[in-house]
Amino acid sequence: MIKTSDLYDLTHTQAAPLLENTEYPWEALGSIGDFILALGPTLSPEEYDQIQENVWVAKDAEIYPSAYIKAPSIIGPGTEVRPGAFIRGNALVGSGCVVGNSTELKNVILFDGVQVPHYNYVGDSILGYKAHMGAGSITSNVKSDKTLVVVRDGSEALETGRKKVGALLGDRVEIGCNSVLNPGTVVGRDSMVYPLSSVRGVVPANSIYKAKDDVVTKE
């Protein structure tokens, strides 16, 4: 259950035209920047300001003065980008999101309602509708040996063909504080991860991840 259609309701993202053509969500990671560059000029000038070249921000988004946004990026309606946020480009941030203080984003899709509110690093990742990462939780997007990332689901190993793959979080996923999502982690819809976890591989939908060998179905 790790296909794009298993993880995401595409009605909650402007990236739907990109993602609907993928079988697995990591297939979209190499195209986020080009997709933003094509989408940005089509956005309504009544709803979005182009605050700099190839950076579009919804008029009702709240961007604090000390936040940094690099092109290409789109920040959706009602989203809050808090002090010290560092958006490094190739970032498509949906509506009603929170990008918090000292949070860093790079090559990401955040669906509507995503919260990464406190000291998070999210790179080469896709976070589904209303996904939430607790304070200090991060995605690790490069293996220590620098080999290509493989997504492991039990005995099945899926080659991504990419050196950098962070986490693919399904809709309404909750990640506990100070957790590390290792390269190629997939967390299914409506699942929860305990604080201080080190997660790798696939966490099934509707599960609670307590430890590597202690994953239970939500009641």
Distance CA 70, CA 57 (A): 12
* Consecutive H or E run containing 56: strand 55-58
* pLDDT at residue number 114: 98
* pLDDT at residue number 219: 82
Q: Are 14 and 95 in contact (CB under 8 A)?
A: no
* pLDDT at residue number 1: 85
* pLDDT at residue number 154: 83
Kindly report the CATH number assigned to the domain that includes residue 98. 2.160.10.10
* pLDDT at residue number 171: 98
Residue 74 CA from chain centroid, whole number: 14
The verdict on whether 132 is a catalytic residue reads no
* pLDDT at residue number 155: 82
Question: How many domains does the chain fold into?
Answer: 1
- Please state the pTM of the whole predicted model: 0.97
Task: Name the residue range of residue 78's domain.
Answer: 4-217
Distance CA 82, CA 55 (A): 17
* pLDDT at residue number 45: 97
Distance CA 195, CA 192 (A): 10
Catalytic residue among 70, 88, 118, 143: 118
Pick from 88, 122, 76, 82: nearest CA to 102: 82
In the chain, which stretches have pLDDT less than 70?
none
